[in-house]
Amino acid sequence: MTEEDTSAIIHEEELIRLVDWENHGSPYYNEYHHAFRKKCKEFVDKEILPEIDKWERQGDIPNELCRKCYEKGLYSFFYETQYGGTPVKDSMVHDPFTLLIWYEQFSRAGSGGLLTSILIHGIALPPVLTFGNKEQKELMRAVIEAKKYACLAISEPTAGSDVRNIKTVAKKDGDYYIVNGEKYWISGGMKADYFITAVRTGEPGIGGISLMIIPRSENVITTRLPLMGHATSATAYVVFRNARVHKSMIIGAENQGFMTIMYNFNSERMGIIGEAVGFARVCVEEAAQYARSRVTFGKPLIKHQVIRHKLAEMARQVLACHAFVEKVCYQMTKDPFGRTDKSIPRNVSLLKVQATKTLEYCAREAAQIFGGRSYVRGGRAGKIERIYRDVRAFAIYGGSEEIMLDLAVKQAKL
């Protein structure tokens, strides 16, 4: 039997899924979750999978995709209706499982840049909608409705995960602030109309940091960063050069922005975790399908014991990681910001490391199974090649693995 003959009789629906948790019994999901999953899957199948390779080559996601997502209720489903949100159900506006399902389905495209492009507002807007005033929330309506874009601008060239040492300065000038400084690795920055920005308004350290909405202007200069992966993420190097910002754009109280940023990190990291686990599962499924169709030494690759063991080990790690994700999601349904349950930020830190290491392992093993095909852009191993280039991003942004491990130990007060 030739490889072509084998490929002809293998179909996706025939594949025994090693990581098919959607059809497993679970106490976490209800009828709304299942309906939302179905809607996500249909949208991805119709609007994204046929186009993603082209978008990756172009290095951009069309703006109309975000609008289509919004119209289908897949863009702003975790925001309140009074500001333009489209929740699955009013009582589920902040349900972490809904967001997990979104990542589960949209990650099937195997594109980190795609997910960043569509849902970057998911880390930019929560500080405004949670700690901002009514006018600031209303300003974000256009972003929630996919008519404008916002990004989160925290990291700097000399202060990535070290937020307390940011150098971007906002100096008071009457009713305005004059902002000068640089931000680096800002996902979505090339398209952003609003930059939710960490600035220094006071003394050195955490007590002098504020969070501010900075509208795009001629004094906000953005330059695209040529990344290893995340080709469609519109990631920017941002320079504020005497940007004039009204005092009404301060989110919460002046010099009280550090804790707002810290509270936001939990949800940001959970998004990264959801993506990482989703991509790890893609690695398992793509590798399993290929192993059934590829013929080596006169038999399908899947018949070689070493390949079966690789797939089983990948599946074991993905399922264990996903179970941890669901556990933390359940905790966050009770205490979204971890204000009372202090184990939440600790668990999120550990989980981010677990998820990114699982992704790195699965990407490597999937590439081994695909062999030389995984080293070629596009083609049969296109998703694996893309995911492999995205791996380092997941291990670094949102808090590097090393910082996450150290943070977890410190939070445990050992």
For the residues 15-30, what does the mean pLDDT come to? Answer: 82
Domain positions in the chain are: 150-259
pTM: 0.92
Q: Which CATH architecture has domain 150-259?
A: Beta Barrel (2.40)
Q: Which residue has the higher pLDDT, 356 or 4?
A: 356
User: In the predicted model, what is the mean pLDDT of residues 140-148?
Assistant: 97
Task: Calculate the average pLDDT of the chain.
Answer: 92
Give residue-wise pLDDT tens across range 191-230.
Answer: 999 999 999 999 999 999 999 999 999 999 999 999 999 9
The pLDDT of residue 16? 54
Q: Name which of 8-17, 165-174, 258-267 the model is least confident about.
A: 8-17
pLDDT score of 255 more than 60: yes
**pLDDT tens digits, residue range 295-349?**
888 899 999 999 999 999 999 999 999 999 999 999 999 887 788 888 999 999 9
d(CA 340, CA 319): 28
